[in-house]
Amino acid sequence: MAVKTLFVCSNCGHEERKWLGRCPECGEWSTFVEEAREEKKTVGFAGRISKGSRGTAKKTLSLSEVKETDAKSRMETGIGELDRILGGGIVPGSMVLVGGEPGVGKSTLLLQVMGRLGESCLMISGEESPRQVAMSAKRLGVSETGFRVLSETDLDIIEATILDERPEVVVVDSIQTLYSPELTGAPGGVGQVRECAARLMRLAKSEGIAIILVGHVTKDGSIAGPRVLEHMVDTVLQFEGDRFQAFRVLRALKNRFGSTNEIGVFEMTGRGMEEVEDPSAFFLSRREGAMPSGVVTVCLLEGTRPMLVEIESLVAPSPLAMPRRVANGLDNGRVNMLCAVLSRRAGLNLADQDVYVNVTGGVRVEEPAADLGVALAIASALRDRPVGKGAACFGEIGLTGDVRFVPGADRRASELIKMGFARIIRPENIEKRRKNARSGAGKDGSGERGENGLLEVKTLEEAVAVALL
């Protein structure tokens, strides 16, 4: 069948035979995307389906006849952090998208994965020559493992090579460099990325070959290309972290074969990406003596792993009419909200103060359980009084000033106790209080020291009073 190209509006679906700057149907600008279509001859009257235009019927399967993919069929990469994020390893026939900023370590980690898997891997390099890939592999110590390399960007040649070589895992670095000869757009365009990803996905599903795509990111941190790219693939992994710091966090944004709450922590070294099995010990500073003001330790829960990080804050008089609110590693809107709650519910005047908040180690914190740590760090910096050595906290803060209970509180507290923290400020366990009240055991009060130095609080004002003794 002949193939023609059409330009389709990504907003309303209107089709044109040539590119237009503005869609005549919905009026949006720069929404036309090039697509390849097969021309099909229609036979019969309009509105009726004739035998000549029908496709070939396929046999359907009952769910009881479908063989499930068990854990044994997964391919372990040999990197424990990555295997845990993927749910136990790479699933045959799956498609994984790895995104991240330039220089964060995407290609380095995948080279190490191919070095562990060996001859069953094929690397499609659209950015480097085979000599450059060999130099990087030699530096990482995986040059003698036997995986194969192809430096090509033409999708037709890549498909023919994969079908001829029959590898178990294919790594494409990167999807933005590939192009389909059927489309006239430049590589990296929306139409090219979508067409190349769709053809590779059909190849992976039909042949049972696992394909890992490397994707570049835009200025706002999202993966470049059409949003449908993330919907096509089975797993989306995002590399986070400052490329000027050693630590990297690999997070699963989407996973059809495992949990999306797990993260992996790596350290970039001269030998490649090394696993960090105990990230809490790396993210906590080793200060001698008393802790300075504005520093609070928070226990986060990333999937099944408790992780301790330090939150720093600096509060200074502002020379501006609109004080600054700057957050590094946190959502800026969340910090603004906590400043408003501190001013309104805890009686702290921040109207004429610049507030700076930072998460040490280059970690990106998204969990609401860090709210209490951010608020206490700001309060400590404003009053210039340290929270104290051996103190840590966790809890979500509402607009009413309440400190709300968070999932996994007992697991967080156990991790803090194991790391040697003697004062743990946490939300009140309402269900436990109710049981104790019915049984007559204990008092229904907040801010009281419990077992192992646990301090349960109801409101942000109580938490500030308990922390800044």
Question: What is the CB neighbour count within 10 angstroms for residue 151?
Answer: 15
Provide the pLDDT for residue 234: 94
Q: Give pLDDT tens digits for 273-329.
A: 998 877 777 677 665 556 789 999 999 987 778 889 999 999 999 999 999 999 999
> What whole-number distance in Å separates Cα of residue 403 and Cα of residue 338?
12
> What whole-number distance in Å separates Cα of residue 16 and Cα of residue 28?
14
286 in a domain, yes or no? yes
154 in a domain, yes or no? yes
> What whole-number distance in Å separates Cα of residue 422 and Cα of residue 413?
10
66 in a domain, yes or no? no
**Residue where one domain finishes, among candidates 277, 307, 326:** 277
Question: What percentage of the chain carries pLDDT values higher than 70?
Answer: 85
Strand order in the sheet with 32-38: 15-16, 3-9, 32-38
Question: What is the CB neighbour count within 10 angstroms for residue 332?
Answer: 12
Check whether residue 178 and residue 239 sit in a common domain. Answer: yes
CB-count exposure of residue 434 (10 Å: 0-12, 13-18, 19+): exposed
Position 413 pLDDT exceeds 80: yes
**Residue where one domain finishes, among candidates 277, 297, 330:** 277
CB-count exposure of residue 281 (10 Å: 0-12, 13-18, 19+): exposed
Quick one: DSSP state of residue 297? Answer: E
Q: What is the mean pLDDT of residues 198-207?
A: 93
Check whether residue 246 and residue 293 sit in a common domain. Answer: no
50 in a domain, yes or no? no
- Residue 414 Cα distances to 82, 418, 419, 451, angstroms: 25, 6, 9, 12
CB-count exposure of residue 137 (10 Å: 0-12, 13-18, 19+): buried
Question: What percentage of the chain carries pLDDT values higher than 90?
Answer: 47
Check whether residue 236 and residue 310 sit in a common domain. Answer: no
Provide the pLDDT for residue 62: 87
Name the band, by pLDDT with cuts 50, 70 and 90, for residue 353.
Answer: very high
Provide the pLDDT for residue 444: 45
Question: What is the CB neighbour count within 10 angstroms for residue 186?
Answer: 9
> For residue 194, which of 229, 157, 235, 158 has the smallest C-alpha distance?
229
Give the CATH number, domain containing residue 350.
Answer: 3.30.230.10
Provide the pLDDT for residue 445: 45
State the residue for tokens 């805890």.
346
> What whole-number distance in Å separates Cα of residue 131 and Cα of residue 127?
12
Selected residue with higher pLDDT from 435 and 410: 410
> What whole-number distance in Å separates Cα of residue 81 and Cα of residue 76?
11
> What whole-number distance in Å separates Cα of residue 227 and Cα of residue 373?
35
Q: Give pLDDT tens digits for 29-83.
A: 888 888 776 665 544 444 454 555 566 888 888 888 777 655 568 899 989 889 9
Provide the pLDDT for residue 433: 60
55 in a domain, yes or no? no
Q: What is the mean pLDDT of residues 184-188?
A: 79
**Cβ contacts of residue 202 below 8 Å, gap of 6+?**
none
Provide the pLDDT for residue 249: 84
Q: DSSP string of 120-151? A: GEEEEESSS-HHHHHHHHHHHT-TTS--EEE-
Q: How does the average pLDDT of the chain come out, rounded?
A: 85
Position 354 pLDDT exceeds 80: yes
Q: Give pLDDT tens digits for 120-160.
A: 999 999 989 999 999 999 999 998 888 999 999 999 999 99
> What whole-number distance in Å separates Cα of residue 86 and Cα of residue 56?
36
- Residue 417's φ and ψ, nearest 5 degrees, are -65, -40
Provide the pLDDT for residue 192: 85
Check whether residue 229 and residue 311 sit in a common domain. Answer: no
- Residue 339's φ and ψ, nearest 5 degrees, are -65, -40
Contact 39, 3 (CB under 8 A): yes
Provide the pLDDT for residue 384: 94
- Residue 432 Cα distances to 351, 428, 435, 437, angstroms: 38, 9, 5, 9
Q: Give pLDDT tens digits for 34-44.
A: 877 666 554 44
> What whole-number distance in Å separates Cα of residue 51 and Cα of residue 379?
75
Provide the pLDDT for residue 339: 96
Percent helix, strand and coil across the chain, each to the nearest 5: 30, 25, 40
Check whether residue 225 and residue 150 sit in a common domain. Answer: yes
Quick one: DSSP state of residue 5? Answer: E
Position 268 pLDDT exceeds 90: no
Provide the pLDDT for residue 45: 44
- Residue 80 Cα distances to 34, 88, 250, angstroms: 41, 9, 12
Question: Three-state SS for 349?
Answer: coil
Name the band, by pLDDT with cuts 50, 70 and 90, for residue 224.
Answer: low
Contact 133, 86 (CB under 8 A): no
Check whether residue 122 and residue 149 sit in a common domain. Answer: yes
Give the CATH number, domain containing residue 137.
Answer: 3.40.50.300
Q: What is the mean pLDDT of residues 256-263?
A: 84
Provide the pLDDT for residue 288: 59
Check whether residue 211 and residue 332 sit in a common domain. Answer: no
Position 236 pLDDT exceeds 60: yes
Q: Is the pTM of this model over 0.75?
A: no
Position 334 pLDDT exceeds 90: yes
Lowest-confidence region among 183-192, 378-387, 414-423 = 183-192
Check whether residue 325 and residue 455 sit in a common domain. Answer: yes
Check whether residue 232 and residue 302 sit in a common domain. Answer: no
- Count of domains forming the chain: 3
52 in a domain, yes or no? no
> What angle in degrees, to the nearest 10, is found between the helix axes of 332-345 and 460-467?
90
> What whole-number distance in Å separates Cα of residue 178 and Cα of residue 159?
11
Check whether residue 98 and residue 244 sit in a common domain. Answer: yes
Check whether residue 317 and residue 431 sit in a common domain. Answer: yes
54 in a domain, yes or no? no
Range of the domain at 331: 282-467
Position 26 pLDDT exceeds 60: yes
58 in a domain, yes or no? no
> For residue 213, which of 234, 228, 227 has the smallest C-alpha distance?
234
**Residue where one domain finishes, among candidates 277, 310, 329:** 277
Quick one: DSSP state of residue 154? Answer: B
Provide the pLDDT for residue 146: 87
- Residue 433's φ and ψ, nearest 5 degrees, are -65, -40
> What whole-number distance in Å separates Cα of residue 205 and Cα of residue 93?
5
Q: What is the mean pLDDT of residues 423-443?
A: 69
Quick one: DSSP state of residue 458? Answer: S
Check whether residue 410 and residue 270 sit in a common domain. Answer: no
Position 112 pLDDT exceeds 90: yes
Q: What is the mean pLDDT of residues 213-227?
A: 71
Provide the pLDDT for residue 228: 73
